Structure 1
Amino acid sequence: MIDTPTPGSAPSNPKGKLARNLAIYTLARLGLVVVIAAIILGVSTLVDAQVPLLVAAIFAVIIAMPLSLVLFKKLRLQVNEQISAVDAQRRQDRDELRSKLRGDK
């Protein structure tokens, strides 16, 4: 029987949790880039300097990369643990399938 989560509840399988937390982590990092780009553009407006949007976005990505490792450490570690859990489950399923194909009990 396939375990399907009810609407509004967290998925109970490792793949579902991984997908959810990976999406949250990705959106958090993208949000950080947007916030940093907005800050760069805002500061440039305050000091009466023109900074193109593309330049602000490039600097925001460069700044957000190491900053997100610190700010979102807990979420990143959860994603890493869930990747390990999914990988272990996949390895176990593969080994079970191979043993069944060999005729082992």
Structure 2
Amino acid sequence: MSDGRPGTRLIVDVLAYAAARLVLVAAVAAAIFGAARLLGLDEFPLVVALLFAIIIALPLGIWLFAPLRRRATASIAAFDERRRKDREQLQARLRGEDPPPS
């Protein structure tokens, strides 16, 4: 998915990882809220289910979404490397030197 824009892949990978983590929190919150309803707790606060879901989903998401996290991290590293090379080339041109090869 390389359309010539260096940040596009980065944005897609990071948004995919963030969306997956949010969907996991929503699913865990729904499961906790549904389990409370099944146990007869009709007045179980949704905020409490959401807070427990966040606590449970933090470590669970790291484990479940490891491939997405690695892909997002690799995209960030590639983007940073490209920025570093571009900055080095610019600084070399400003000093009047030949820029290092890309």
TM-score by length of 2: 0.89
State the Cα RMSD in Å. 1.0
Question: Within the alignment, does 1:33 sit opposite 2:25 as a pair?
Answer: yes
Q: Once superposed, which parts of structure 1, at least 4 consecutive aligned residues long, lie more than 2 Å away? A: 10-14
Q: Map of 1:61-100 to 2, 5 A cutoff?
A: 61-100=54-93
2:94 equivalent in structure 1: 101
Q: Select the residue among 24, 44, 47 that pairs with 2:16.
A: 24
* Secondary structure at the counterpart of residue 51 of structure 1: coil
1:65 maps to a residue whose letter is L
Q: Which runs of 5+ in 2 are unaligned?
A: none
Aligned-residue sequence identity (percent) comes to 41
**1:36–1:64 Cα contact (<8 Å) kept:** yes
List gaps (5 residues or longer) in structure 1.
Answer: 1-9
Query: What is the CA-CA distance between 1:14 and the residue it aligns to?
Result: 3.8
Question: Does structure 2 retain, via aligned residues, the 8 Å contact 1:14–1:82?
Answer: no
In structure 2, the partner of 1:15 is 7
